[in-house]
């Protein structure tokens, strides 16, 4: 299971999502350009103490993200969370290798991202409510996906006496601009 953030605008949301990912053992792909500095130095300066425990991959563009997925053969379905979807997240059958994809806070996901998604799902809201905060939506999505796939039992998440550790935490990678086609 992975989280992918398409061109996030707000550093506090990304920081919260990195903490969520570190605590649940879920990797994060940040697809640039971002609306803020996401360098290791900036993360340290911002005091994101959980950033060192998060498996973070930075991609300079949507094209670089897609090229990285196809080049390694890694990653399952791209599951886009969008208010425009018909299927509710609780009615969708998640798989352990899904990539939960979220659009930018200010504009959502563009048509090219929608077109690349293998599935589109939404978190149901009361009528007249536009959207949730990105980090809140991500937390709801990750919790449901892990619940469905037994992910809470993996990596020591099953009980209160769980030890620290897990999968690939602390790894940071940057994908090149090769194949860049934003």
- The alpha carbon dihedral of 118, 101, 6, 124 has a sign of positive
> Domain containing 42 — which CATH number?
3.40.1280.10
Question: How many domains is the chain partitioned into structurally?
Answer: 1
Q: Does any domain span residue 180?
A: no
Helix (H, G, I), strand (E, B) or coil at 179: coil
Q: Which of 56, 75, 54 is nearest to 166 (CA)?
A: 54
Q: In the structure, what pLDDT confidence band is assigned to residue 171 with cuts at 50, 70 and 90?
A: very low
pTM summary value: 0.84
Task: Provide the domain limits for residue 9.
Answer: 2-157
pLDDT tens per residue across span 26-76: 999 999 999 999 887 777 666 467 777 889 999 999 999 999 887 665 679
* pLDDT score at 165: 39
**Taking the CB of residue 20, how many other CB atoms lie within 10 A of it?**
19
Pairing of strands 87-88, 172-175: unpaired
Cβ burial, residue 79 (10 Å; 0-12/13-18/19+): buried
Of the candidate ranges 5-9, 18-22, 28-32, the one whose mean pLDDT is the lowest: 18-22
Q: Does any domain span residue 127?
A: yes
Helix H or strand E encompassing 88: strand 87-88
Pairing of strands 87-88, 119-122: parallel
Q: Does any domain span residue 177?
A: no
């Amino acid at each position: 299971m992975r989280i992918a953030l398409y061109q996030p605008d707000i550093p506090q949301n990304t920081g919260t999502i990195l903490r969520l990912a570190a605590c649940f053992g879920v990797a994060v792909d940040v697809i640039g350009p971002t609306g803020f500095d996401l360098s290791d130095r900036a993360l340290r300066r911002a005091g994101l103490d959980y950033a060192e425990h998060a498996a973070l991959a930075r991609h300079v563009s949507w094209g670089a993200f897609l090229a990285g997925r196809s080049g390694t053969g890694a990653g399952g379905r791209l599951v886009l969370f969008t208010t425009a979807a018909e299927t509710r997240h609780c009615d969708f059958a998640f798989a352990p290798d899904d990539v939960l994809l979220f659009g930018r806070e200010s504009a959502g996901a563009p048509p090219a991202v929608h077109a690349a998604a293998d599935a589109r799902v939404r978190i149901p809201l009361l009528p007249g409510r536009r959207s949730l905060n990105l980090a809140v939506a991500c937390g709801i999505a990750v919790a449901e996906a892990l619940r469905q796939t037994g992910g809470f039992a993996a990596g020591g998440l099953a009980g209160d006496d769980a030890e620290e550790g897990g999968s690939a935490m602390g790894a940071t990678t940057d994908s090149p601009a090769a194949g860049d086609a934003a």
